[in-house]
Amino acid sequence: PRGKSKELFVHHLPFNMTEEELRGLFSQNGVVTRASIAIHPLSGQPNYAFVKFKLQSAADNAIMRLNKFPIRGKLLQVDYAKNKKQSRGRSEEECQTTHRHRQGVRHAASGPF
C-alpha cells in the first residue's frame, strides 16, 4: 500500500458518477475538503477521482469502508494518493483541470449532470 495521506485516489467509478455523489458517499466518513473526478477524454465518463479529508482518521476510515465497495455494478478501488504524481502520471491539479474542461463542455451542450 501507498503511504498514508489525507487525500485518496479512487478508481473503478461507476458510469455517470458525479462529484456531488462522490462527495456524498465519502463524507459519511468525515469532512471532505475536496472531491474531483477526472473525465476520460474519449468516453466522457468518470475515469478516476481524488477525495481529500480534513482529518487523517476520516481518510483511513474511508479506505476501510469503501475499498471494494459495490456501487452500480462496479467495485470502487480506494487507496492513499501519492504526493505529486498519480496513476498514469496525472496530478490532482491536472485531474481538476480536465474535469472543469469536460464539465464546461457538457454544461454548454446538454445542461448539468
**Adjacency order of strands within the sheet including 77-80:** 32-39, 46-53, 7-11, 77-80
Q: Please state at what angle helix 56-66 crosses helix 19-26, rounded to 10 degrees.
A: 100
Question: Are 8 and 50 contacting, i.e. CB atoms less than 8 angstroms apart?
Answer: yes
- Whether the pTM exceeds 0.85: the reply is no
pLDDT in tens, 11-61: 999 988 999 999 999 999 999 999 999 998 898 888 899 999 999 999 999
Task: Work out the angle at residue 16's Cα, subtended by the Cα atoms of residues 12 and 17, and round it to the nearest 5 degrees.
Answer: 60
pLDDT at residue 112, as a whole number: 38
pLDDT at residue 48, as a whole number: 96
- Is 109 a residue whose pLDDT tops 70? no
In the chain, pLDDT over 70 holds for what percent of residues? 70
pLDDT band at 107 (very low <50, low <70, confident <90, very high): very low
